[in-house]
Structure 1
């Protein structure tokens, strides 16, 4: 991470910098009095991203949606990069259910991951935001805190807990990126078509292991999975990661 913190933190943490939109900035502009605020700008940006992806977000389009000039936005936010940071925090509110970690660390992380997955699926553009450093916004740090709390009584060193959280979060992020990238290709119909194609291409002599997998239905959705639920699933990989964490916890206990 750069030594200089990203712009926008003063808006999120209330730092007294006197920057546009901060708690200690000067008299409200006419745009503010008429309803233009950092919160409204960020809300409009999130709407655009949810509708059309990250490419749909620009200062001009945000201004158009709010009915203001592009220049008026710069009285409240400094750049699109700052808006992206504010957008990430805006959609990352932590569910109250995670405030109290359960007694079982694994169940706690599974609930944490389920809540993260819901957020990532609701705002698919999150995975396209350039990573400029570790989490620094209030909501991002709250997510980190809740995951660390779930590991509180495992006996792991604090550095190991932090490593587990990073590993799990990275896995979820990559799974969500794959899910968003595949889109309709992950539907039951598309997967069935792919399985059929593999059945024609996977010659038993050239690809014996692949042939066995195709014949065993490894590339088909289970028949009992409803069509609406046929999408990229993170649970298998997460279970394997948590199995490894469980082994580490047992080793530390010994």
Structure 2
């Protein structure tokens, strides 16, 4: 048997979890990791991710770039913390939105809104599975929605990734249109009419018979939401898969096991149990925050003791 070694946390991850040692020197007023991230997010919201630089953030704060490096040692770490701040955490109401399907739909809508509020997040390169507190909370919420189903842990994760993939794609498209509206000073209706007119001008029935038929049917003038439609059909497939899994285990399980949370949402004891779970989860999050703070202070004390010796 081999001894498992605890991996050393990268600086950015340690900062996100609140377990990185604070700098022992540097400006003490109006300077902190939180303030640095706040200003960086403000710049990105106004000018885009490319406008964010250590020098620019330092100038906005009135300090030198070297002052920032005492708190955030690399721009990649800053971007990670910016993403963590911008995505935030899902609202507690999402966990009680109904059954698994309603909860996943709520997760989708919430994530799309975060992308629209901070579209630069979509420009952050994907470099592996996120391991920050807020990203973990989103993952946990998605898995919680599916916890009462017959899906395996691997299948639940796959379904959650399906939904977050839908939200990211929707966010990319909607954020692009929102940017176009701002730059051109036009609204949704005008963009829709312009696109429809271009298609009608360029797409002929001889060269593109099916696309032309769709244009004539008015698809580019239709006001329905194609993104929600795609998500709903994907969830239809998940529902059918869950139903098949439930049927396969039906003879081996009590009658109540296959019930969706939405079927028992009006049960008083069930609601009380859900509330107790939420309160326990909040207490656990608070306790972990206190633990991280205590660990940070302990490391700072140890560092001072070493410096004095």
| TM-score interval for Structure 1 and Structure 2 normalised by the shorter chain | 0.7 to 0.9
Which residue of structure 2 aligns with residue 10 of structure 1?
A: 14
Aligned residues: 235
Matched, 1:35 2:39: no
Which residue of structure 2 aligns with residue 59 of structure 1?
A: 54
Q: Using a 3 Å threshold, how does the CA distance of structure 1 residues 244 and 4 change in structure 2: closer, same or farther?
A: farther
Which residue of structure 2 aligns with residue 241 of structure 1?
A: 234
C-alpha distance in 1 between matches for 2:9 and 2:160 = 22
- Secondary structure of the structure 1 residue equivalent to 2:96: coil
Which residue of structure 2 aligns with residue 19 of structure 1?
A: none
Matched, 1:216 2:220: no
Deviation at 1:4, TM superposition (A): 6.8
Conserved? CA contact 1:8–1:86, under 8 Å:
yes
CA RMSD of aligned residues (A): 2.1
C-alpha distance in 1 between matches for 2:216 and 2:94 = 46
Which residue of structure 1 aligns with residue 208 of structure 2?
A: 207
Conserved? CA contact 2:108–2:167, under 8 Å:
yes
Q: Using a 3 Å threshold, how does the CA distance of structure 1 residues 137 and 179 change in structure 2: closer, same or farther?
A: same
Deviation at 1:211, TM superposition (A): 1.7
Alignment of 1:223-238 (within 5 A): 234-238=227-231
Which residue of structure 1 aligns with residue 246 of structure 2?
A: 253
Q: Which moved more, 1:5-14 or 1:237-246?
A: 5-14
Which residue of structure 1 aligns with residue 302 of structure 2?
A: none
Q: Using a 3 Å threshold, how does the CA distance of structure 1 residues 220 and 103 change in structure 2: closer, same or farther?
A: closer
Say which structure is richer in helix: 2
Matched, 1:159 2:154: yes
Which residue of structure 2 aligns with residue 143 of structure 1?
A: 138
Deviation at 1:10, TM superposition (A): 1.4
C-alpha distance in 2 between matches for 1:98 and 1:134 = 25
C-alpha distance in 2 between matches for 1:105 and 1:48 = 37
Deviation at 1:233, TM superposition (A): 5.9
* Structure 1 residues 38-62: Cα deviation after superposition (integer angstroms, max 9, x where no partner): 1110000000000011011000110
- Secondary structure of the structure 1 residue equivalent to 2:200: helix
- Secondary structure of the structure 1 residue equivalent to 2:11: coil
Which residue of structure 1 aligns with residue 180 of structure 2?
A: 184
C-alpha distance in 1 between matches for 2:9 and 2:108 = 28
Conserved? CA contact 2:150–2:245, under 8 Å:
yes
C-alpha distance in 1 between matches for 2:9 and 2:23 = 23
* Structure 1 residues 9-60: Cα deviation after superposition (integer angstroms, max 9, x where no partner): 2112233xxxxxx3x4464x341x2221111100000000000110110001
Conserved? CA contact 1:105–1:151, under 8 Å:
yes
C-alpha distance in 2 between matches for 1:6 and 1:243 = 40
Conserved? CA contact 2:139–2:160, under 8 Å:
yes
Q: Using a 3 Å threshold, how does the CA distance of structure 1 residues 180 and 102 change in structure 2: closer, same or farther?
A: closer
Which residue of structure 1 aligns with residue 195 of structure 2?
A: 194
Which residue of structure 2 aligns with residue 73 of structure 1?
A: 68
Q: Using a 3 Å threshold, how does the CA distance of structure 1 residues 5 and 133 change in structure 2: closer, same or farther?
A: farther
Gaps of 5+ in 2: 1-6, 182-186, 248-309
- Secondary structure of the structure 2 residue equivalent to 1:234: helix
- Secondary structure of the structure 1 residue equivalent to 2:207: coil
**TM-score, structure 1 as length reference:** 0.85
